[in-house]
Chains A and B, each alone.
Chain A
Amino acid sequence: MGRVEGKVAFITGAARGQGRSHALRLAEEGADIIAIDICEAVPTNNIPPASEKDLQETVRQVEALDRRIIATKADVRDYDAVKAAVDEGVAQLGRLDIVAANAGIAGTPSRAEEIPEDHWTEMIDINLSGVWKSCKAAIPHLRASGGGSIIITSSDAGLFAYPNIAHYVSAKHGLVGLMRTLALELAPDMIRVNSIHPTTVSTDMVLNDTIYRLFRPDLDNPTKDDFAEAATAMNALPVPWVEAVDISNAVLWLASDEARYVTGVPLPVDAGAAVK
Protein backbone atom coordinates (compact mmCIF):
# COMPACT_ATOMS: atom_id res chain seq x y z
CA MET A 1 0.00 0.00 0.00
CA GLY A 2 1.60 3.25 -1.14
CA ARG A 3 1.81 6.21 1.19
CA VAL A 4 -0.18 8.44 -1.19
CA GLU A 5 -2.29 5.70 -2.78
CA GLY A 6 -5.41 7.02 -4.50
CA LYS A 7 -4.28 10.63 -4.39
CA VAL A 8 -3.59 13.04 -7.25
CA ALA A 9 -0.69 15.51 -7.16
CA PHE A 10 -0.22 18.71 -9.19
CA ILE A 11 3.46 19.49 -9.75
CA THR A 12 4.90 22.60 -11.39
CA GLY A 13 8.32 22.59 -13.04
CA ALA A 14 7.91 18.87 -13.58
CA ALA A 15 10.07 18.43 -16.71
CA ARG A 16 13.31 17.69 -14.86
CA GLY A 17 15.27 18.20 -11.66
CA GLN A 18 13.34 18.32 -8.40
CA GLY A 19 9.96 18.49 -10.15
CA ARG A 20 10.51 15.25 -12.04
CA SER A 21 11.88 13.64 -8.90
CA HIS A 22 8.73 14.66 -6.99
CA ALA A 23 6.54 13.19 -9.74
CA LEU A 24 8.39 9.88 -9.64
CA ARG A 25 8.56 9.60 -5.85
CA LEU A 26 4.86 10.39 -5.44
CA ALA A 27 3.99 8.01 -8.28
CA GLU A 28 6.06 5.26 -6.66
CA GLU A 29 3.86 5.69 -3.58
CA GLY A 30 0.65 5.43 -5.59
CA ALA A 31 -0.26 8.96 -6.72
CA ASP A 32 -1.36 10.04 -10.17
CA ILE A 33 0.23 13.22 -11.47
CA ILE A 34 -0.80 16.49 -13.09
CA ALA A 35 2.41 18.02 -14.43
CA ILE A 36 3.23 21.37 -15.98
CA ASP A 37 6.46 22.97 -17.10
CA ILE A 38 7.28 26.07 -19.14
CA CYS A 39 9.53 23.97 -21.44
CA GLU A 40 10.95 27.19 -22.80
CA ALA A 41 13.78 29.61 -22.21
CA VAL A 42 13.43 32.37 -19.65
CA PRO A 43 15.63 35.22 -20.86
CA THR A 44 17.12 36.25 -17.51
CA ASN A 45 17.85 32.69 -16.37
CA ASN A 46 21.36 31.35 -16.51
CA ILE A 47 20.92 27.80 -17.73
CA PRO A 48 19.55 26.00 -20.80
CA PRO A 49 15.80 25.59 -20.39
CA ALA A 50 13.89 22.37 -19.88
CA SER A 51 12.36 21.16 -23.14
CA GLU A 52 9.15 19.45 -24.13
CA LYS A 53 11.31 16.37 -24.58
CA ASP A 54 12.23 16.58 -20.88
CA LEU A 55 8.55 16.79 -19.92
CA GLN A 56 7.82 13.79 -22.16
CA GLU A 57 10.57 11.89 -20.36
CA THR A 58 8.85 12.61 -17.03
CA VAL A 59 5.63 11.25 -18.57
CA ARG A 60 7.43 8.14 -19.74
CA GLN A 61 8.98 7.48 -16.33
CA VAL A 62 5.73 8.01 -14.42
CA GLU A 63 3.87 5.71 -16.81
CA ALA A 64 6.61 3.11 -16.36
CA LEU A 65 5.53 3.05 -12.71
CA ASP A 66 1.99 2.21 -13.86
CA ARG A 67 0.63 5.56 -12.74
CA ARG A 68 -1.32 8.03 -14.83
CA ILE A 69 0.02 11.48 -15.70
CA ILE A 70 -1.49 14.47 -17.50
CA ALA A 71 1.34 16.73 -18.63
CA THR A 72 0.86 20.18 -20.14
CA LYS A 73 3.24 22.85 -21.35
CA ALA A 74 2.27 25.83 -19.20
CA ASP A 75 4.01 28.88 -17.72
CA VAL A 76 3.24 29.56 -14.03
CA ARG A 77 3.05 33.28 -14.92
CA ASP A 78 -0.02 32.57 -17.03
CA TYR A 79 -2.88 31.96 -14.59
CA ASP A 80 -5.37 30.99 -17.27
CA ALA A 81 -2.99 28.39 -18.68
CA VAL A 82 -2.23 26.98 -15.23
CA LYS A 83 -5.93 26.82 -14.36
CA ALA A 84 -6.76 25.12 -17.65
CA ALA A 85 -4.04 22.53 -17.06
CA VAL A 86 -5.21 21.79 -13.50
CA ASP A 87 -8.88 21.69 -14.49
CA GLU A 88 -8.13 19.31 -17.34
CA GLY A 89 -5.97 17.13 -15.11
CA VAL A 90 -8.67 16.92 -12.46
CA ALA A 91 -11.30 16.19 -15.12
CA GLN A 92 -9.24 13.22 -16.29
CA LEU A 93 -7.84 11.94 -12.99
CA GLY A 94 -10.89 12.61 -10.86
CA ARG A 95 -9.62 14.70 -7.96
CA LEU A 96 -6.76 16.73 -6.48
CA ASP A 97 -5.09 16.18 -3.11
CA ILE A 98 -1.51 17.43 -3.32
CA VAL A 99 0.19 20.51 -4.78
CA ALA A 100 3.97 20.68 -5.15
CA ALA A 101 4.66 24.29 -6.16
CA ASN A 102 8.19 23.65 -7.33
CA ALA A 103 8.75 25.70 -10.50
CA GLY A 104 11.51 28.25 -10.07
CA ILE A 105 14.53 29.87 -11.62
CA ALA A 106 17.91 30.84 -10.20
CA GLY A 107 18.20 33.97 -12.30
CA THR A 108 21.46 35.76 -12.88
CA PRO A 109 23.46 36.95 -9.89
CA SER A 110 24.32 40.59 -9.32
CA ARG A 111 24.32 43.09 -6.47
CA ALA A 112 20.89 44.38 -5.52
CA GLU A 113 21.49 47.88 -6.86
CA GLU A 114 22.64 46.48 -10.19
CA ILE A 115 19.82 44.01 -10.85
CA PRO A 116 18.08 45.10 -14.06
CA GLU A 117 14.37 45.83 -13.83
CA ASP A 118 13.45 42.92 -16.10
CA HIS A 119 15.56 40.46 -14.09
CA TRP A 120 13.85 41.50 -10.86
CA THR A 121 10.38 41.28 -12.35
CA GLU A 122 10.89 37.95 -14.04
CA MET A 123 12.20 36.42 -10.80
CA ILE A 124 9.29 37.69 -8.70
CA ASP A 125 6.77 36.73 -11.38
CA ILE A 126 7.98 33.12 -11.55
CA ASN A 127 9.32 32.28 -8.08
CA LEU A 128 6.72 34.15 -6.01
CA SER A 129 3.66 35.12 -8.05
CA GLY A 130 3.82 31.84 -10.00
CA VAL A 131 3.42 29.93 -6.75
CA TRP A 132 0.45 32.05 -5.74
CA LYS A 133 -1.17 31.42 -9.15
CA SER A 134 -0.49 27.68 -8.89
CA CYS A 135 -2.13 27.56 -5.45
CA LYS A 136 -5.02 29.74 -6.57
CA ALA A 137 -5.80 27.42 -9.46
CA ALA A 138 -5.57 24.33 -7.24
CA ILE A 139 -7.40 25.39 -4.06
CA PRO A 140 -11.00 24.90 -5.33
CA HIS A 141 -10.11 21.33 -6.31
CA LEU A 142 -8.48 20.60 -2.94
CA ARG A 143 -11.55 21.96 -1.20
CA ALA A 144 -13.76 19.73 -3.35
CA SER A 145 -11.67 16.74 -2.19
CA GLY A 146 -12.38 17.62 1.44
CA GLY A 147 -8.83 18.68 2.23
CA GLY A 148 -5.31 18.41 0.93
CA SER A 149 -1.65 19.31 1.24
CA ILE A 150 0.20 22.15 -0.48
CA ILE A 151 4.00 21.99 -0.41
CA ILE A 152 5.80 25.13 -1.53
CA THR A 153 9.45 24.87 -2.49
CA SER A 154 11.27 27.77 -0.93
CA SER A 155 15.00 27.63 -0.13
CA ASP A 156 17.46 28.27 2.65
CA ALA A 157 17.45 31.66 0.90
CA GLY A 158 13.85 31.90 2.15
CA LEU A 159 15.12 31.84 5.74
CA PHE A 160 18.29 33.94 5.50
CA ALA A 161 20.11 36.03 2.93
CA TYR A 162 22.93 35.36 0.52
CA PRO A 163 24.62 38.34 -1.13
CA ASN A 164 24.22 38.96 -4.87
CA ILE A 165 20.83 37.29 -5.39
CA ALA A 166 18.47 39.80 -3.74
CA HIS A 167 15.65 39.00 -6.17
CA TYR A 168 15.88 35.28 -5.44
CA VAL A 169 16.16 35.84 -1.68
CA SER A 170 13.18 38.22 -1.74
CA ALA A 171 10.99 35.84 -3.73
CA LYS A 172 11.89 32.85 -1.55
CA HIS A 173 11.25 34.84 1.66
CA GLY A 174 7.95 35.98 0.17
CA LEU A 175 6.88 32.37 -0.20
CA VAL A 176 7.12 31.89 3.57
CA GLY A 177 4.63 34.71 4.06
CA LEU A 178 2.36 33.19 1.42
CA MET A 179 2.66 29.75 3.03
CA ARG A 180 1.80 31.05 6.51
CA THR A 181 -1.18 33.04 5.21
CA LEU A 182 -2.54 30.13 3.19
CA ALA A 183 -2.07 27.81 6.19
CA LEU A 184 -4.36 30.03 8.24
CA GLU A 185 -6.88 30.73 5.49
CA LEU A 186 -7.22 27.08 4.44
CA ALA A 187 -7.05 25.37 7.86
CA PRO A 188 -10.87 25.37 8.27
CA ASP A 189 -11.03 23.29 5.07
CA MET A 190 -8.37 20.84 6.34
CA ILE A 191 -5.99 21.98 3.62
CA ARG A 192 -2.44 22.00 4.99
CA VAL A 193 0.26 24.32 3.65
CA ASN A 194 3.98 23.96 4.36
CA SER A 195 7.24 25.06 2.75
CA ILE A 196 10.50 23.20 2.17
CA HIS A 197 13.87 24.90 2.41
CA PRO A 198 16.60 23.01 0.60
CA THR A 199 20.27 23.74 0.80
CA THR A 200 22.12 23.25 -2.50
CA VAL A 201 20.45 20.46 -4.51
CA SER A 202 22.37 18.54 -7.10
CA THR A 203 20.43 19.69 -10.22
CA ASP A 204 21.14 21.71 -13.37
CA MET A 205 19.91 24.85 -11.62
CA VAL A 206 22.97 25.02 -9.38
CA LEU A 207 25.55 22.76 -10.98
CA ASN A 208 26.64 25.28 -13.61
CA ASP A 209 29.35 27.89 -14.16
CA THR A 210 27.22 30.86 -13.10
CA ILE A 211 26.66 29.38 -9.65
CA TYR A 212 30.28 28.21 -9.39
CA ARG A 213 31.39 31.81 -9.99
CA LEU A 214 28.80 33.21 -7.55
CA PHE A 215 30.16 31.09 -4.73
CA ARG A 216 33.83 31.18 -5.75
CA PRO A 217 34.45 34.83 -6.72
CA ASP A 218 38.05 34.24 -5.61
CA LEU A 219 38.75 31.98 -8.62
CA ASP A 220 38.91 32.80 -12.34
CA ASN A 221 37.53 29.50 -13.61
CA PRO A 222 35.98 27.65 -10.69
CA THR A 223 35.18 23.96 -11.19
CA LYS A 224 32.48 21.78 -9.68
CA ASP A 225 35.00 20.65 -7.06
CA ASP A 226 35.81 24.27 -6.19
CA PHE A 227 32.09 24.94 -5.75
CA ALA A 228 31.74 21.75 -3.67
CA GLU A 229 34.25 23.16 -1.17
CA ALA A 230 32.25 26.37 -0.78
CA ALA A 231 28.95 24.47 -0.70
CA THR A 232 30.24 22.11 2.02
CA ALA A 233 31.33 25.08 4.10
CA MET A 234 27.72 26.37 4.14
CA ASN A 235 26.35 23.10 5.57
CA ALA A 236 26.79 21.63 9.05
CA LEU A 237 26.78 18.01 7.82
CA PRO A 238 29.96 17.29 5.87
CA VAL A 239 28.23 17.11 2.46
CA PRO A 240 28.30 19.62 -0.42
CA TRP A 241 24.70 19.19 -1.53
CA VAL A 242 21.65 16.98 -1.23
CA GLU A 243 19.98 15.00 -4.01
CA ALA A 244 16.61 15.83 -5.56
CA VAL A 245 15.15 12.69 -3.96
CA ASP A 246 15.88 14.09 -0.50
CA ILE A 247 13.54 16.99 -1.25
CA SER A 248 11.03 14.57 -2.76
CA ASN A 249 11.04 12.49 0.43
CA ALA A 250 10.17 15.60 2.45
CA VAL A 251 7.42 16.46 -0.07
CA LEU A 252 6.13 12.89 0.18
CA TRP A 253 5.99 13.00 3.97
CA LEU A 254 4.20 16.36 4.03
CA ALA A 255 1.83 15.15 1.30
CA SER A 256 0.97 11.94 3.12
CA ASP A 257 -1.54 11.37 5.90
CA GLU A 258 1.42 10.77 8.23
CA ALA A 259 1.63 14.57 8.37
CA ARG A 260 -2.13 15.06 8.59
CA TYR A 261 -1.81 17.68 11.35
CA VAL A 262 1.36 19.41 10.15
CA THR A 263 0.64 22.85 8.71
CA GLY A 264 2.28 26.28 8.62
CA VAL A 265 5.75 24.77 8.91
CA PRO A 266 8.91 25.93 7.13
CA LEU A 267 10.86 22.64 6.88
CA PRO A 268 14.58 22.92 6.09
CA VAL A 269 16.16 20.00 4.21
CA ASP A 270 19.48 21.68 4.38
CA ALA A 271 22.21 19.58 6.00
CA GLY A 272 22.10 22.00 8.91
CA ALA A 273 22.90 25.14 6.89
CA ALA A 274 20.22 27.19 8.64
CA VAL A 275 21.33 26.22 12.13
CA LYS A 276 24.98 26.92 11.39
Chain B
Amino acid sequence: MGRLDGKVAFITGAARGQGRSHALRMAQEGADIIGVDIAEQISTVPYAMATQEDLDETVRQVEALDRRIVARKVDVRDGEALRAAVDEGVAELGRLDIVAANAGIFSSGAAEELTEEQWGDMIEVNLSGVWRTCKVAIPHLRAAGGGSIIITSSTAGLNGFPNFAHYVSAKHGVVGLMRTLALELAPDMIRVNSVHPTSVDTDMIQNETMYELFAPDLEPQQRTREALGERFTTLNALPIPWVEAVDISNAVLFLASDEARYITGVTLPVDAGQTTK
Protein backbone atom coordinates (compact mmCIF):
# COMPACT_ATOMS: atom_id res chain seq x y z
CA MET B 1 0.00 0.00 0.00
CA GLY B 2 1.63 3.23 -1.16
CA ARG B 3 1.47 6.35 0.93
CA LEU B 4 -0.21 8.24 -1.95
CA ASP B 5 -2.31 5.46 -3.47
CA GLY B 6 -5.12 6.82 -5.62
CA LYS B 7 -3.86 10.41 -5.59
CA VAL B 8 -2.80 12.62 -8.50
CA ALA B 9 0.06 15.13 -8.22
CA PHE B 10 0.75 18.19 -10.40
CA ILE B 11 4.47 19.00 -10.57
CA THR B 12 6.10 22.00 -12.26
CA GLY B 13 9.70 21.87 -13.43
CA ALA B 14 9.31 18.11 -13.79
CA ALA B 15 11.85 17.47 -16.57
CA ARG B 16 14.83 16.89 -14.29
CA GLY B 17 16.43 17.69 -10.92
CA GLN B 18 14.11 18.03 -7.94
CA GLY B 19 10.97 18.02 -10.10
CA ARG B 20 11.76 14.65 -11.68
CA SER B 21 12.74 13.30 -8.28
CA HIS B 22 9.37 14.41 -6.85
CA ALA B 23 7.56 12.72 -9.73
CA LEU B 24 9.40 9.44 -9.19
CA ARG B 25 9.14 9.43 -5.39
CA MET B 26 5.41 10.16 -5.48
CA ALA B 27 4.86 7.62 -8.25
CA GLN B 28 6.72 5.01 -6.16
CA GLU B 29 4.13 5.66 -3.46
CA GLY B 30 1.21 5.21 -5.83
CA ALA B 31 0.45 8.66 -7.27
CA ASP B 32 -0.24 9.46 -10.91
CA ILE B 33 1.51 12.56 -12.22
CA ILE B 34 0.76 15.69 -14.21
CA GLY B 35 4.19 17.09 -15.11
CA VAL B 36 5.06 20.35 -16.84
CA ASP B 37 8.37 21.96 -17.72
CA ILE B 38 9.44 24.91 -19.85
CA ALA B 39 11.95 22.57 -21.58
CA GLU B 40 13.59 25.62 -23.08
CA GLN B 41 16.27 28.17 -22.27
CA ILE B 42 15.57 31.52 -20.58
CA SER B 43 18.14 34.04 -21.74
CA THR B 44 19.02 35.42 -18.27
CA VAL B 45 19.66 31.94 -16.87
CA PRO B 46 23.41 31.24 -16.98
CA TYR B 47 23.26 27.43 -17.14
CA ALA B 48 21.62 25.01 -19.56
CA MET B 49 17.97 24.49 -18.72
CA ALA B 50 16.00 21.28 -19.21
CA THR B 51 15.02 19.96 -22.64
CA GLN B 52 12.10 18.07 -24.15
CA GLU B 53 14.32 14.94 -23.99
CA ASP B 54 14.63 15.42 -20.22
CA LEU B 55 10.85 15.67 -19.86
CA ASP B 56 10.46 12.54 -22.02
CA GLU B 57 12.88 10.75 -19.69
CA THR B 58 10.75 11.68 -16.67
CA VAL B 59 7.74 10.20 -18.49
CA ARG B 60 9.68 7.02 -19.21
CA GLN B 61 10.79 6.61 -15.60
CA VAL B 62 7.31 7.25 -14.14
CA GLU B 63 5.77 4.77 -16.57
CA ALA B 64 8.45 2.24 -15.63
CA LEU B 65 6.95 2.41 -12.13
CA ASP B 66 3.57 1.45 -13.64
CA ARG B 67 2.06 4.85 -12.92
CA ARG B 68 0.39 7.17 -15.39
CA ILE B 69 1.78 10.58 -16.32
CA VAL B 70 0.48 13.45 -18.43
CA ALA B 71 3.45 15.63 -19.42
CA ARG B 72 3.28 18.97 -21.20
CA LYS B 73 5.86 21.52 -22.33
CA VAL B 74 4.62 24.59 -20.44
CA ASP B 75 6.18 27.80 -19.12
CA VAL B 76 4.88 28.80 -15.66
CA ARG B 77 4.82 32.39 -16.94
CA ASP B 78 1.93 31.39 -19.21
CA GLY B 79 -1.21 31.00 -17.11
CA GLU B 80 -3.40 29.86 -19.99
CA ALA B 81 -0.99 27.10 -20.98
CA LEU B 82 -0.74 26.01 -17.33
CA ARG B 83 -4.50 25.87 -17.03
CA ALA B 84 -4.82 23.83 -20.20
CA ALA B 85 -2.18 21.35 -18.99
CA VAL B 86 -3.79 20.86 -15.58
CA ASP B 87 -7.29 20.62 -17.02
CA GLU B 88 -6.16 18.01 -19.54
CA GLY B 89 -4.27 16.11 -16.87
CA VAL B 90 -7.26 16.03 -14.56
CA ALA B 91 -9.55 15.03 -17.44
CA GLU B 92 -7.28 12.07 -18.16
CA LEU B 93 -6.30 11.05 -14.62
CA GLY B 94 -9.59 11.84 -12.93
CA ARG B 95 -8.71 14.15 -10.06
CA LEU B 96 -6.06 16.35 -8.42
CA ASP B 97 -4.84 16.06 -4.81
CA ILE B 98 -1.27 17.35 -4.68
CA VAL B 99 0.59 20.32 -6.13
CA ALA B 100 4.40 20.53 -6.04
CA ALA B 101 5.20 24.06 -7.22
CA ASN B 102 8.84 23.36 -7.90
CA ALA B 103 9.80 25.18 -11.12
CA GLY B 104 12.49 27.76 -10.50
CA ILE B 105 15.57 29.40 -11.94
CA PHE B 106 18.76 30.94 -10.58
CA SER B 107 20.99 33.76 -11.70
CA SER B 108 23.21 36.18 -9.82
CA GLY B 109 24.41 39.77 -9.53
CA ALA B 110 24.68 42.45 -6.84
CA ALA B 111 21.31 44.09 -6.22
CA GLU B 112 22.28 47.40 -7.78
CA GLU B 113 23.70 45.67 -10.83
CA LEU B 114 20.86 43.27 -11.63
CA THR B 115 19.24 44.10 -14.96
CA GLU B 116 15.51 44.70 -15.34
CA GLU B 117 15.45 41.53 -17.41
CA GLN B 118 17.17 39.42 -14.73
CA TRP B 119 14.86 40.78 -12.05
CA GLY B 120 11.77 40.39 -14.21
CA ASP B 121 12.45 36.80 -15.27
CA MET B 122 13.21 35.78 -11.70
CA ILE B 123 10.05 37.23 -10.19
CA GLU B 124 7.92 36.01 -13.09
CA VAL B 125 9.17 32.41 -12.80
CA ASN B 126 10.01 31.90 -9.12
CA LEU B 127 7.18 33.93 -7.55
CA SER B 128 4.40 34.68 -10.04
CA GLY B 129 4.81 31.25 -11.66
CA VAL B 130 4.06 29.64 -8.29
CA TRP B 131 0.95 31.80 -7.88
CA ARG B 132 -0.26 30.82 -11.38
CA THR B 133 0.45 27.15 -10.66
CA CYS B 134 -1.68 27.29 -7.50
CA LYS B 135 -4.38 29.36 -9.15
CA VAL B 136 -5.05 26.84 -11.92
CA ALA B 137 -4.87 23.89 -9.52
CA ILE B 138 -7.08 25.12 -6.69
CA PRO B 139 -10.47 24.48 -8.36
CA HIS B 140 -9.46 20.87 -8.96
CA LEU B 141 -8.23 20.42 -5.36
CA ARG B 142 -11.51 21.84 -4.11
CA ALA B 143 -13.42 19.45 -6.37
CA ALA B 144 -11.44 16.57 -4.85
CA GLY B 145 -12.62 17.65 -1.36
CA GLY B 146 -9.21 18.86 -0.17
CA GLY B 147 -5.55 18.55 -0.99
CA SER B 148 -1.97 19.52 -0.31
CA ILE B 149 0.07 22.26 -1.99
CA ILE B 150 3.83 22.15 -1.45
CA ILE B 151 5.75 25.22 -2.57
CA THR B 152 9.50 24.91 -3.04
CA SER B 153 11.12 27.95 -1.46
CA SER B 154 14.73 27.91 -0.20
CA THR B 155 16.79 28.81 2.84
CA ALA B 156 16.96 32.04 0.82
CA GLY B 157 13.24 32.31 1.56
CA LEU B 158 14.04 32.61 5.27
CA ASN B 159 17.43 34.41 5.31
CA GLY B 160 19.20 36.93 3.11
CA PHE B 161 22.22 36.09 0.96
CA PRO B 162 24.40 38.57 -0.95
CA ASN B 163 24.46 38.71 -4.75
CA PHE B 164 21.05 37.32 -5.68
CA ALA B 165 18.50 39.78 -4.32
CA HIS B 166 15.96 38.83 -6.97
CA TYR B 167 16.11 35.15 -5.98
CA VAL B 168 15.95 35.96 -2.25
CA SER B 169 13.00 38.31 -2.85
CA ALA B 170 11.09 35.75 -4.90
CA LYS B 171 11.77 32.95 -2.41
CA HIS B 172 10.68 35.16 0.52
CA GLY B 173 7.65 36.14 -1.53
CA VAL B 174 6.43 32.56 -1.85
CA VAL B 175 6.39 32.33 1.97
CA GLY B 176 3.88 35.17 2.03
CA LEU B 177 1.90 33.44 -0.70
CA MET B 178 2.02 30.12 1.18
CA ARG B 179 0.77 31.68 4.43
CA THR B 180 -2.04 33.52 2.66
CA LEU B 181 -3.14 30.44 0.71
CA ALA B 182 -3.03 28.36 3.90
CA LEU B 183 -5.57 30.70 5.48
CA GLU B 184 -7.73 31.15 2.40
CA LEU B 185 -7.93 27.43 1.60
CA ALA B 186 -8.18 25.96 5.13
CA PRO B 187 -12.00 25.94 5.08
CA ASP B 188 -11.77 23.63 2.05
CA MET B 189 -9.27 21.31 3.80
CA ILE B 190 -6.59 22.29 1.31
CA ARG B 191 -3.23 22.47 3.10
CA VAL B 192 -0.39 24.71 1.93
CA ASN B 193 3.22 24.46 3.12
CA SER B 194 6.66 25.45 1.87
CA VAL B 195 9.91 23.49 1.79
CA HIS B 196 13.22 25.30 2.28
CA PRO B 197 16.21 23.36 0.95
CA THR B 198 19.82 24.19 1.52
CA SER B 199 21.99 23.51 -1.55
CA VAL B 200 20.67 20.52 -3.49
CA ASP B 201 22.99 18.52 -5.71
CA THR B 202 21.38 19.33 -9.08
CA ASP B 203 22.35 21.15 -12.28
CA MET B 204 21.03 24.40 -10.79
CA ILE B 205 24.02 24.58 -8.41
CA GLN B 206 26.60 22.40 -10.14
CA ASN B 207 27.60 24.98 -12.76
CA GLU B 208 30.26 27.61 -13.47
CA THR B 209 28.15 30.56 -12.34
CA MET B 210 27.55 29.07 -8.92
CA TYR B 211 31.19 28.06 -8.58
CA GLU B 212 32.27 31.61 -9.33
CA LEU B 213 29.71 33.01 -6.89
CA PHE B 214 30.85 30.85 -3.97
CA ALA B 215 34.56 30.62 -4.79
CA PRO B 216 35.46 33.96 -6.39
CA ASP B 217 38.93 33.83 -4.83
CA LEU B 218 39.88 30.61 -6.66
CA GLU B 219 41.26 30.37 -10.18
CA PRO B 220 38.68 28.92 -12.61
CA GLN B 221 40.59 25.62 -12.87
CA GLN B 222 40.52 25.29 -9.05
CA ARG B 223 36.72 25.68 -8.94
CA THR B 224 35.95 21.98 -8.72
CA ARG B 225 32.96 20.15 -7.31
CA GLU B 226 35.07 19.35 -4.25
CA ALA B 227 36.14 22.98 -3.75
CA LEU B 228 32.53 24.13 -4.00
CA GLY B 229 31.54 21.36 -1.60
CA GLU B 230 33.91 22.71 1.03
CA ARG B 231 32.40 26.19 0.69
CA PHE B 232 28.85 24.87 0.90
CA THR B 233 29.70 22.71 3.93
CA THR B 234 30.55 25.85 5.90
CA LEU B 235 26.97 27.08 5.36
CA ASN B 236 25.40 23.98 6.99
CA ALA B 237 25.38 22.77 10.59
CA LEU B 238 25.51 19.09 9.65
CA PRO B 239 28.93 18.29 8.16
CA ILE B 240 27.71 17.83 4.58
CA PRO B 241 28.02 20.03 1.46
CA TRP B 242 24.53 19.56 0.03
CA VAL B 243 21.50 17.33 0.19
CA GLU B 244 20.18 15.08 -2.59
CA ALA B 245 17.01 15.77 -4.59
CA VAL B 246 15.38 12.75 -2.94
CA ASP B 247 15.68 14.42 0.47
CA ILE B 248 13.44 17.23 -0.75
CA SER B 249 11.14 14.67 -2.37
CA ASN B 250 10.79 12.84 0.94
CA ALA B 251 9.68 16.08 2.60
CA VAL B 252 7.24 16.74 -0.25
CA LEU B 253 5.94 13.18 0.09
CA PHE B 254 5.39 13.58 3.83
CA LEU B 255 3.54 16.88 3.39
CA ALA B 256 1.51 15.44 0.48
CA SER B 257 0.44 12.35 2.41
CA ASP B 258 -2.39 11.91 4.88
CA GLU B 259 0.25 11.51 7.59
CA ALA B 260 0.45 15.31 7.47
CA ARG B 261 -3.32 15.78 7.23
CA TYR B 262 -3.34 18.57 9.83
CA ILE B 263 -0.09 20.32 8.84
CA THR B 264 -0.65 23.63 7.09
CA GLY B 265 0.97 27.06 6.96
CA VAL B 266 4.39 25.61 7.81
CA THR B 267 7.82 26.61 6.50
CA LEU B 268 9.77 23.33 6.57
CA PRO B 269 13.54 23.65 6.19
CA VAL B 270 15.39 20.64 4.74
CA ASP B 271 18.63 22.43 5.20
CA ALA B 272 21.15 20.47 7.26
CA GLY B 273 20.66 23.05 9.99
CA GLN B 274 21.68 26.03 7.84
CA THR B 275 18.96 28.40 9.10
CA THR B 276 19.64 27.47 12.74
CA LYS B 277 23.33 28.24 12.37
Contacts and interface: CB of A to CB of B under 8 A. Distances in A.
Interface string A146-182: 0000000000000000000000000000000000100
B264 A267 contact: no
B272 A261 contact: yes
B164 interface: no
Contacts of A261: 198, 238, 240, 243, 247, 270-272
B264 A236 contact: yes
8 contacts: A238-B186, A250-B260, A253-B254, A258-B247, A261-B238, A265-B276, A270-B263, A275-B183
Interface residues of A, number: 36
A251 B191 CA distance: 19
Nearest to A273: B265
B142 interface: no
Interface stretch (A66-74, A87-95, A125-133, A184-192): A184-192
A239 B179 CA distance: 18
A85 B21 CA distance: 42
Interface in B227-251: 236-240, 243, 247, 250-251
Contacts of A192: 238, 273
A109 interface: no
B195 to A, nearest CB: 10
Interface of B: 179, 182-183, 186-187, 189, 191, 198, 236-240, 243, 247, 250-251, 253-254, 259-266, 268-273, 275-277
A101 B259 CA distance: 20
A40 B250 CA distance: 40
Contacts of B263: 250, 267-270
Interface of A: 180, 183-184, 187-188, 190, 192, 199, 235-239, 242, 246, 249-250, 252-253, 258-265, 267-272, 274-276
Nearest to B238: A187
Contacts of A190: 238-239
A246 B261 contact: yes
Contacts of B269: 262, 264-265
A263 B262 contact: no
Contacts of A263: 237-238, 272-273, 276
A242 B259 CA distance: 12
A264 B260 contact: no
